[in-house]
Amino acid sequence: MTKQSYAVIGLGRFGTSIISKLYEAGQEVMGIDINNELVDDVKSSVTHAVVLDSTDEESLKSVGIRNFDYVIVAIGNDMQASILTVMLLKEIGVKQVIAKAINKRHGQLLEKVGADWVIHPERDMGERVAHQLLSPNVLNYIELSKEYNIEEIIIPPSMKKKSLRELDLRAKYNVNAIAILNNENLIISPSPDQIIQNGDKVVVIGHREDINEFANIK
């Protein structure tokens, strides 16, 4: 994996969980917070940890914030600080600014000041939980648009020991299998002769309603 540089501003639960995943993956990560105790706590799991107020333009410039590939603004409750920080980062010329919103209005304002990607963690997680409850066979999914998804689905018992050709998912369910997960092995673009084993998972792309129908086969 190519090494990228990330700065995470705000070391609450959201910011620190992003930091630990990125650092574990060998990436260059700077942790930033106004609170020096939080900065101390994170020191062992980042490349650099800095105490600064991200609403102060000079402080941001002093750590070379413009040179980071991604800057993640993980400030929540202080909406004003979050919006001002995103605005300054874009003015300084940071290419990719990712920001967390605590509500819809906050999200809209973050987009207005130039955030490249706005995340709504509580809303999105709530939606995922509901999706999982409605379709227990779906392990993971990505929304490509309002209508189309990619979903990872547990193969229904009736389909095991059959080849993809026999299953003919495209004709029968209007979904396309783009990968098969067999234990830890990921088979990308599986051949039509690929036999489905017990416990396999299939990654399909298609219309949400079609995938939903497929995911609920017994």
- Nearest Cα to 71, choosing from 8, 154, 151? 8
* Residue number with CB closer to ligand ATP (39 or 177): 39
Q: Read out DSSP for 18-38?
A: HHHHHHHTT-EEEEEES-HHH
Residue 7, C-beta contacts closer than 8 angstroms, at least 6 positions apart: 29, 30, 32, 63, 65, 68, 70, 71, 72
Q: Read out DSSP for 105-131?
A: HHHHHHHHTT-SEEE-HHHHHHHHHHH
Q: Which residues bind ligand ATP (CB under 6 A)?
A: 9-15, 32-35, 38, 53-55, 74-78, 81
* Residue number with CB closer to ligand ATP (35 or 108): 35
* Residue number with CB closer to ligand ATP (54 or 149): 54
Minimum distance, C-beta of residue 14 to ligand ATP, in the bound complex (Å): 3
* Phi, then psi, of 204 in degrees rounded to 5: -120, 155
Minimum distance, C-beta of residue 76 to ligand ATP, in the bound complex (Å): 2
Minimum distance, C-beta of residue 84 to ligand ATP, in the bound complex (Å): 8
* Residue number with CB closer to ligand ATP (74 or 180): 74
- Rama region for 62: left / alpha / beta (φ>0; ψ in -120 to 50; rest): alpha
CA of residue 36 relative to chain centroid, distance: 28
Minimum distance, C-beta of residue 70 to ligand ATP, in the bound complex (Å): 17
- Rama region for 37: left / alpha / beta (φ>0; ψ in -120 to 50; rest): alpha
* Residue number with CB closer to ligand ATP (71 or 74): 74
* Residue number with CB closer to ligand ATP (18 or 155): 18
Minimum distance, C-beta of residue 101 to ligand ATP, in the bound complex (Å): 10
Q: Which residue is nearest to ligand ATP (CB)?
A: 76
Minimum distance, C-beta of residue 55 to ligand ATP, in the bound complex (Å): 5
